[in-house]
Amino acid sequence: MADKRHGGPYDRGRADAYYRRPFKPHFFEEGSYTSKRVEALSPEEREAYRKGWADQHASGDFKDWGEAA
């Protein structure tokens, strides 16, 4: 089962997809943006990020940024 903790690879994949940020696998050692960002992922961590990304896309739920002025 994927590590779904806040700041973990799955969580970061979902967040990046939700905010429509680029696919760039990473996670945080502890909480998001309050600890060291890790970009050298193991195959399992990379897969958790990919799964979070895919699950979020499959949900169809994305940040509504409103219409451009």
Q: What is the DSSP letter of 27?
A: E
pLDDT score recorded for residue 4? 78
- In the chain, where are the structural domains located? 9-59
Q: Select from 54, 58, 48 the least CA-distant residue to 7.
A: 48
Record the pTM: 0.88
Torsional class of 60: left (φ above 0), alpha (ψ -120 to 50), beta (otherwise): left
Q: What is the pLDDT of residue 31?
A: 84
Q: How far apart are CA 37 and CA 67, in angstroms?
A: 32
> pLDDT digit of tens for each residue in the chain (69 aa)?
556 789 999 999 999 999 999 999 999 998 889 999 999 999 999 999 999 999 999 999 999 988 765
